[in-house]
Structure 1
Amino acid sequence: MKQKSQSTNHIGLIKPQVFYSNPQTLNTNPYQDKELHHADSVVLSKALEEFKGFHEMLVDKGVAVTMLLGHPECPDHVFPNFFSTHDNGQAILFPMMAENRSKERTPEILDFIKRHYTIAHDLTHFEAEGKACEANASVCLDRVNGMAFAVLSKRTDEGLARHLADIMGYDIVIGETALDNGLPVYHTDLMMFVGEGYAAVCFEIMTKGAEEFRDALTKLGHEIVEISKEQLNEMCGNALQVIGQGGQKYLVMSSRAFNAFRDDQKMIFKKYVADILHAPIPTIEKYGGGSARCLMQELF
C-alpha cells in the first residue's frame, strides 16, 4: 500500500459540539488540564473560535477542507483518531482506548467514509479485548517509502501496530518512551512527524528504539530535526505536511509549537516546504492535550 505522495491536499476537520478535558483519557495524557472535566460553554466558545481560525488558515492556502460534525457526548471528537484513508481508495477503522472515544464513530461519519472509501479493514473489534491502536496518531507513516514508526502506550498496542503494518505492506520500527512522570508519551504523533525529505523526532524521551528510528529515517534519506523534551512539551512533535494551491507543500503546526522551534530548525523545514503555517489553538491544547496534527484527518 505504498503511496506516491506523503501528503494530501484534502483535510477533514471535526467541529466539536462539546469540549473539555476527557476524564477517560486523563490517566494517559499529562498534557490535558486536570481541572475541567465537564461541559463548559466558555471553553467550548474559545475552542470553536480557535478551530475557525485554524480552518481558515488551511483554506487560505488552498487546502480543501471537509467539515464533519462532532457528537455531543464526545469531548475529544475534535481529534479524529478513529480512521485513516489511503490513496488506493481504502479506509481503515481503528480501536480506541476510551469508551467515549468509541462513540466518535457516528453513523453520519461512517456514512461519509463509506461514500468515499472502501473500508478494507475494521479493527474496532479489538476494543473488546482492551486493545487500542489509534490510527495515524499511534502509527506514524512514511507513505512514500512504506515505513511505519510507533511508540508503545495504552493507546498503541504493539501487536496491533505490527498487524497494521502487515496489512498495509509496510515495514515497522517499534520504540518505547518515558516522560518525566514515568508514563510513555500517549501517541507517536506527539513526538515525531515525517515529511518528504525530512523528519522531526524527540529521541530524548526514547528508552528503546531510538537508534533504530534514527537509522531507518537516515537510510530513507530524511534530514532529521531533533526535538528536545522541552520542545515536545510545547507540541513541537505534533505537525503535519499538507498540500495547498498549485501543489505547494506546507508544514502545519500550532503557534505554540512554531514559537518553540529554533530558527535553525525552521530553516531545515523550509528547505522542503513552501512555508510553515501556524495558528494559535491554546484552549484546544490545554484542555484536549493535543495540537495541530491531532486536529487533521488526511483525506486521500
Structure 2
Amino acid sequence: MIVRTAAEFLAAFATLPPNRPASARGAFLVAPLAFRLADESAQDNRYMAMQSSVDANAALAEHAELARRVGTALPTVTFPGNPETPDAVFPNNVFATAPGRAIVGRMRHAVRQREADRDDIRGFFRGVLRYREVDLSTLDGVAELTGSLVIDRARGIGYCGLSERCDAAGAAAMHDAFDLALTYCFDLAPGEYHTNVVMSVLAGRALVIAPDGFADPAAAAAIARAYAPRVVTLTPAQKADYAGNCIALSDSSVWMSARAAASLSGVQRAVLADAGFALEAVALPEIEKAGGSLRCCVGEIF
C-alpha cells in the first residue's frame, strides 16, 4: 500500500507490527578514490561545500577508518573507487538490498548513473551472495534508493520524500523492489534532496527527525507520533550538521559522524540511550563536504 496522507499512514502503521529483521547482517562501502566535488550533483544538493577545497588523501583516510569501525559491528566489504564517479562514496543511493534481492537505483544525474553500471558490485550481489537483481536503472522516473527512501525494516515501511531525486514512479518502483508493506510518500521541503538527511528510523524502535525538512508539517508530526516517545527532534542547525543522516548498524548501536554527534544535546542523547542504543561517532569532515555523511556512505546487506 502506498499512501499520501498522515491519516492514511497512521491507520496503516497501527496494523504493522515489527516482525522482520530490524538491522542489516552486513555492509558495503565504496572508497573515495580521487575524491572531489561533482558540479552536476551540486545543482540540487545544497549541503555540498562547493566553496571549499578538498583533500583527497584525508578523505581516503577518513573512509578507511569508517570501514574499520563499521567492520567491528558487522561484516563489511569495501569496493574500490573510480575517479570518474566522484559521488560513489555514497553507494546506498545506487545499490541496496532486501532479503534475497539486490536493487539498482535510477539516479537523476549522469555522473551518478555511471555508478549503476559497475559490474563488480552487481557481480558481488548476483554471483557471490546469489541475490536476484532488481534493476531500476532504466526506469522512466527517478529512484535514488535509500537516499530518497528511509525504511523501517522491522515493519516493512518506507518513508519516501519526493524531490528532484525521487518521483512518484520511482517511489512505486522502490515499494515493489524492497517488498514493502507500506510506503508513505510526502514532499520534502524546497531545497531538500534526500529523505535520509531529514530523518532516520533506528532498528524499528526510535526516530530521528528534522521537521523543517518536510513540506507539510503534518507529515513529520504523524511520523513522530508513530514512534513516540522515542523521538529525537532535530533543529535546522542539527540537520545541517547531518544528525539526521544516522543509521542503526545493529539493534543496539546508532552511528553518525562526529560532527553530527557533537550537535546533539544531553536530552537527545538520553532518548537514544533509553531506546537501548549506544552512540558511535566517526569523524568525516572531508567527506561531508560532498553533501552527505555517514549513513550515505554505508550500504546495508540484508
Match of 2:134 among 116, 121, 131: 121
1:43 counterpart (55, 61, 81): 55
Deviation at 1:204, TM superposition (A): 2.1
Name 1:207's counterpart in structure 2.
215
Cα distance in 2, alignment partners of residues 52 and 69 from structure 1: 11
Say whether the 8 Å CA contact 1:84–1:91 is kept in structure 2: yes
Root mean square deviation, CA, Å? 2.0
**What residue number does 1:136 align with?**
146
Distance 1:125 1:9 in 2: 28
User: Could you tell me how far apart the structure 1 residues matched to 2:275 and 2:201 are?
Assistant: 12
Task: Please name the residue that 1:163 is paired with.
Answer: 173
* Partner deviation per Cα, 1:228-285 (whole Å, 9 max, x = no partner): 1111111011000012xxxx62101000000001111111111234411101100000
Give the C-alpha shift of residue 124 in structure 1: 0.9
**Post-superposition offset of 1:212:** 3.4
Question: What CA deviation, in whole Å up to 9, does each residue of 1:44-65 have, x standing for no partner?
Answer: 1010111112122223x34211
In structure 1, how many angstroms separate the alpha carbons of the residues matched to 2:37 and 2:181?
34
Aligned in 2, Cα 1:222/1:294: closer, same or farther, shift over 3 Å?
Answer: farther
Pair 1:269-2:265 in alignment = no
> Helix, strand or coil for the counterpart of 1:76?
helix
**Residue type of the alignment partner of 1:159:** A
Equivalence for 2:37: 21
TM-score by length of 1: 0.87
Q: Superposed, which structure 2 residues align to 1:129-278 within 5 Å?
A: 129=140, 131-167=141-177, 168-178=179-189, 183-195=190-202, 196-208=204-216, 210-216=217-223, 218-219=225-226, 223-243=230-250, 249-278=252-281
- Closer, same or farther: CA 190–43 of 1 in aligned 2, 3 Å: same
Unaligned 5+ residue runs, structure 1? none
Match of 1:294 in 2: 296
CA distance in structure 2 between the aligned counterparts of 1:28 and 1:50, rounded to whole angstroms: 25
Number of residues of Structure 1 aligned to a counterpart in Structure 2: 280
Is the Cα–Cα contact under 8 Å of residues 126 and 133 in structure 2 kept in the other structure?
Answer: no
Counterpart residue number, 1:10: 26
CA contact (8 A) 1:251 1:273 kept: no
3-state SS, counterpart of residue 104 of structure 1: helix
Return the match for 1:103 from 107, 110, 114: 114
Deviation at 1:221, TM superposition (A): 6.1
SS state at 2:27 partner:
strand
Structure 2 alignment gaps of length 5 or more: 1-17
Q: Deviations over 1:82-115 (max 9, x none)?
A: 121112x111111011112111131111111212
Question: How many angstroms apart in 1 are the aligned matches of 2:227 and 2:239?
Answer: 24
Provide the secondary structure at the position in 2 that maps to 1:236: coil
Question: Deviation per CA, 1:201-230, whole angstroms, max 9, x where unpaired?
Answer: 11123222x323432453466622111111
Deviations 1:10-63 (A, max 9, x none): 111111222111111111111112246xxx8x711010111112122223x342
